Structure formats: C-alpha cells, structure tokens
Amino acid sequence: MVLWIMNALSPQVVRERLMSGDSVFQKRMVEYLETAHQGEFCEDNHIGVRDRVAEASSLPDYADPTHTMPESAPPPCKVENCQDCECCDGLRGWWVRLKDVVNDLLLKSNMHTCINAKCRPKGQIDCKSRFPRDTFAQTLLDTGTGALTMKKGDPDMNTFNYIMTYLLRCNSDVTSLLSGTAMKAVVAYVTEYITKTGLKTYHVFDIIRSVF
C-alpha cells in the first residue's frame, strides 16, 4: 500500500530544506520520520524479547498474537491533566500490553533468519535479502546531499510501524519515499510480491478459522 499525503512537500523541496540549515525543519522532519517507522524492538532488544516471549508462551493462558485480534484501546480520560483515575490506569495498562504484543509479533513475523538454500543459493556468500543490515544509534543527516540515514537498532529487521504491526498482526514493512530511487525500488519490490504464487484456498480457510 502506497500513501501519498495531500499537500505534502515534494522530495526535492524536503531535500532542499534539509540542506538549507533550517534546524527547526530538520528536527521536526526527523521526529516525524522516526514516529512514522521504526527499526528495532519497542523499548527492548532481541535477546530480552526472546526470553520474555519464551517465558510468557510457557504459561497456560498465553495467546499467540498472530492468532488473535487486537485489543481495542480503552476510552481516554475526560478530565484535563488527570493522571491517577481508573480510566488513566486502564489506558496506561493498555499501552504496556500493546508494547509486549508488538515485540512478540516482531519476533515471530519480522525477524529475518537466513536459510542457506533460500538466502545463499549455489554457495553464494552474502544473503540474497541483504541481511544483516547496518544499524544506527541515531538518525543521521548529510547536510551536503540532504540524505537521511534513519535510526535503526536491529540488523535483522526492515523498518515497520509499531501501531500497524499491532493492527495487522503479520510481517509488514514501512518506509518513507523521499527520492525517485526509493520509489522505483518499492515499485519493484511490490511487483515481485504480487506476482508470487498465491495461497491455496484451504490454507486461507485454515488461517481464518485459527483467528476466529
């Protein structure tokens, strides 16, 4: 799915303003993009999430989030600046559960695991999917070219969005298209996926039945 934001600045204008030294624009652009897509577990790392999920999945009441529907958010508190009521506590608890579920989903659905026959055919040394990827502790801006290198903490995941992951409950990639090259790459990527062989009908029914 490609979303074009109405009245958004063109990639060229964004690049020019990033190169102009407008520190306010640079800061707000980075904040926006870091909110739009992420590249690491939510407030945790791979080992921590793996151990936490292993412990949780051993409990009898554990529900695999890939087989369940998302829990709706409770209604927000209507009292201005309130922090301590039952409604506020319920909303805070929901956010804690959301982060745990998102990390569980990312571990199950978004982590790349190299399989020799698939990732390195005919003795190829490098992974065909180009994993592991470079990681960056913070977003970097090249003021000479206007290029942004986004913050990314995990080498074995593409970028995604926490809320979309929570809602979709499956593998998904999310990125911002700020150049013609990026747009062409996404068109090629999507074209490759939609031309793959589809699921058999009985597989689709099995998935639906497992969810409901």
Tens digit of pLDDT for each residue in 89-133? 999 999 999 999 999 999 999 999 887 777 887 778 888 888 999
| Average pLDDT of the residues of the chain | 89
What is the pLDDT, as a whole number, of residue 117? 73
Once rounded to an integer, what is the mean pLDDT over residues 151-173?
Answer: 96
What is the pLDDT, as a whole number, of residue 210? 64
Beta bridge partners of 90: none
Please answer whether residues 44 and 52 qualify as being in contact, where contact means their C-beta atoms are separated by less than 8 angstroms. yes
> Residue 177 pLDDT > 80, yes or no?
yes
What is the pLDDT, as a whole number, of residue 10? 87
Q: 70: burial class by Cβ within 10 Å (0-12, 13-18, 19+)?
A: middle
Instruction: Tell me how far apart the alpha carbons of residues 128 and 131 are, in angstroms, rounded to a whole number.
Output: 8
Pick the closest to residue 152 from 68, 14, 45, 79 (CA basis): 45
Instruction: Tell me how far apart the alpha carbons of residues 30 and 140 are, in angstroms, rounded to a whole number.
Output: 9
Instruction: Tell me how far apart the alpha carbons of residues 149 and 167 are, in angstroms, rounded to a whole number.
Output: 27
Question: What pLDDT band is residue 162 in, cutting at 50, 70 and 90?
Answer: very high
Q: For residue range 14-59, what is the model confidence (pLDDT) as tens digits?
A: 999 999 989 999 999 999 999 999 999 999 999 999 999 999 999 9
Please answer whether residues 152 and 159 qualify as being in contact, where contact means their C-beta atoms are separated by less than 8 angstroms. yes
Please answer whether residues 148 and 30 qualify as being in contact, where contact means their C-beta atoms are separated by less than 8 angstroms. yes
pTM over 0.75: yes
Using a pLDDT cut of 70, give the percent of the chain over it: 92
What is the pLDDT, as a whole number, of residue 201? 73
Pick the closest to residue 91 from 104, 108, 103, 78 (CA basis): 78
Q: 114: which residues sit within 8 A by CB, 6+ positions away?
A: 120, 127, 131
What is the pLDDT, as a whole number, of residue 6? 87
Using a pLDDT cut of 90, give the percent of the chain over it: 61
Q: For residue range 189-202, what is the model confidence (pLDDT) as tens digits?
A: 777 776 766 667 76
Q: Where are the alpha helices (DSSP H) in 37-169?
A: 46-57, 86-109, 116-119, 162-168
What is the pLDDT, as a whole number, of residue 81? 87
